Chain A
Amino acid sequence: MNNQFELPGSYKKWTWGLIVAGVLALLYGFIMLHPFSAPAHGHGGEHSGSTRFWAVLLQNSVYWLLVVNASMFFICVTTMAMGGWQVALRRVPEAISSVVPVLGIITFIVLMAIIWGGRTDIYHWLDKEAVANDKILNGKSGFLNPTFYTIWSAIAIVLWWLLGRKMRSLSLESDKNGPMDYETGKKWIYKNTVWASLYTVFFGLTVASTIPWLWVMSIDAHWYSTMFSWYTFASTFVSGMALVALFIIYLKNQNQLEYVTEEHLHDVGKFMFAFSVFWTYLWFSQYMLIWYSNQPEETKYFVERIGTAERSGPYKGIFFFNLIVNFLCPLLILMKRNAKRNWTLITFMAILIIFGHWIDMYQMVMPGTLGAHAEMMPFEFGIGALFIGVIMWGVGQYLTRHSLLARNHPFLKESMIHHT
């Protein structure tokens, strides 16, 4: 395939449409929600506008950053596992992961505004007086303090970007020369494996452990769960695979990716199915460990969401809606082999999964910040649209600049004759 892929007009129209809608929502937020007014004490009330602004930005920036970052994790683990099947579609997750620096900068600005703007309504542990008089928060202050938060967030985002860029440049370099001979190919694969391992180890230290604790779990500063980071990882990884599926199907509809067939779609569908079940396993385990071990102080997280037997909480609907959209639907719809090989059904399920986990992140952020005053209005959807628009823009840039086929990858043949 020598013809460089060009973005059709409708893609550009949608990209800029979503970005404009998002910027309008952002402007609405700046004007109507007074984001720089002092945080109201306690949970919101009439003055919760500024809290809402930062909570929504936090939810969206963290969610979408982790979703695009999941693409690079997918590339790295398949590289380490010597997986050949993904080579035909490899440029798609590469393109998605190229958005990490853009969303990383946005996320970093949002986090810094929250931390150094003293948003105690988002992170209770920013309140120095409260921490001094609070035994639990005092004990956590070595981890939950603005300096460590800033440094570790910066290191995390920069290393995701740099290690990911190294993986992408290795892949792009291989396009320049002709097919590799055995020795060159072996060295190249080894080099890929080393960088993929470095990325994966760092991914484990950040996404699969510290970063969700810092960015999301510390909203409920008194509460902790060892399941939380894995839960966040599962949530964003399954959405990341859904995003990869969407772009594959889109490019396939544009007559690109000629070697990607139903067989590859089937494997991507398997990832969507399996990690939906994995997410549910963590969703349930997090609840059950607390329920079973009789720790009343740990029930706070769930009381804020589903409430108690006497009084149901404001997020009860969303909490169980989550289970239907993110577990029951993928389980029952994607279970059959034919469903995973059906382009239309995978498109539908991918959108459903991305939306479902966006809602999941919503119910992770909102109860501890806005309490009963959270809303689901055009502003919330508008900010979501802004991030989708930015992702579409970034992915479009990568797809139009580079060949859509890693044509000299030593495993390309394996991918072309892939049979599921």
Chain B
Amino acid sequence: MPFANSPKLKNMAGGIKKFIVGSFDDEKVLFPAVKNVRRAGYKIHDVYTPFPVHGLDHAMGLRETSLHTAGFIYAITGTTTALTFMSWVFTKDWPLNIGGKPHFALPAWIPITFELTVLFSAVGMVLTFCYLCQLSPFVKKHHFHPRATDDLFVMAIECTEKTNESEVKQFLEKSGAQEINVQVAETGWWIGRYDREQKLYREEKGY
């Protein structure tokens, strides 16, 4: 990594890496391609698809997400918050006689407890998901192909020191890629405009 310590790139979160990008126009071609690329030992950085593709995560060998475990923890936090807050309010802080019911009126609190459980887990999971995917307003990430949000399946293969570029290109072509190119890209996120990434490259020597 030639510019890992470059002062100008310090506010970029990841690092700059070189990728060989293959674009596919069919899901049916993409799946065997992903399998072949992995079998050949190349490192897949990520696959960008216009819509969620069932089973692609398994084909890419990604581990199961822990998002639902986080969701469970948020949910029980919501349950505890609701129950402790209501029991404190209605028994200690401001006990009221409501229709002669006991102060500790558990049945009446169940709906609210349920709502808070759902609210905590839903909001918590959305925020966690955004954090894991590095999604946020004003945050930008490199786009490997503009048509990845339209009709192309884009596979980015990360180049290491040992990677033979022309070999990878040939391999992708054989696997049925429609477009193949080499891109040097920031792997992390940055704040600002998209062209900031390109400006930064231009100022660096060697690329």
Chain A residues with CB under 8 Å of chain B are 284, 287-288, 291-292, 294, 335-337, 419
Contacts and interface: CB of A to CB of B under 8 A. Distances in A.
A288 B54 contact: no
B107 A335 contact: no
Given A335-B72, A419-B54, A288 B99 contact: no
B55 interface: yes
Given A287-B107, A419-B55, A294 B99 contact: yes
B27 to A, nearest CB: 13
A335 B75 CA distance: 13
Contacts of A294: 99-100
A288 B55 contact: no
A328 to B, nearest CB: 13
Q: Per DSSP, are chain B's interface residues mostly helix, strand or loop, or mixed?
A: helix
Interface in B95-109: 99-100, 107-108
Contacts of A337: 64, 68
A313 B118 CA distance: 34
A335 B72 CA distance: 9
12 contacts: A287-B107, A288-B107, A288-B108, A288-B110, A291-B107, A292-B108, A294-B99, A335-B72, A336-B68, A337-B64, A337-B68, A419-B55
Nearest to A419: B54
A294 B98 CA distance: 11
A9 to B, nearest CB: 40
Contacts of A291: 107
B140 to A, nearest CB: 33
Contacts of B108: 288, 292
Contacts of B111: 288
Interface residues of B, number: 11
A292 B68 contact: no
Interface string B41-67: 000000000000011000000001000
A164 to B, nearest CB: 33
Interface string B79-114: 000000000000000000001100000011011000
Nearest to A284: B110
Contacts of B55: 419
Contacts of A288: 107-108, 110-111
Nearest to B55: A419
A200 B68 CA distance: 35
Contacts of A336: 68
B139 to A, nearest CB: 30
A284 B110 CA distance: 9
Nearest to A287: B107
A292 B55 CA distance: 48
A284 B64 CA distance: 35
B148 to A, nearest CB: 22
Given A419-B54, A419-B55, A292 B72 contact: no
B194 to A, nearest CB: 35
Query: Which 9 interchain pairs have the tightest Cβ spacing?
Result: A419-B54, A288-B107, A291-B107, A419-B55, A294-B99, A284-B110, A292-B108, A287-B107, A292-B107
Contacts of A335: 72
A395 B55 CA distance: 35
A336 B107 CA distance: 28
Given A292-B107, A336-B68, 16 more contacts: A284-B107, A284-B110, A287-B107, A288-B107, A288-B108, A288-B110, A288-B111, A291-B107, A292-B108, A294-B99, A294-B100, A335-B72, A337-B64, A337-B68, A419-B54, A419-B55
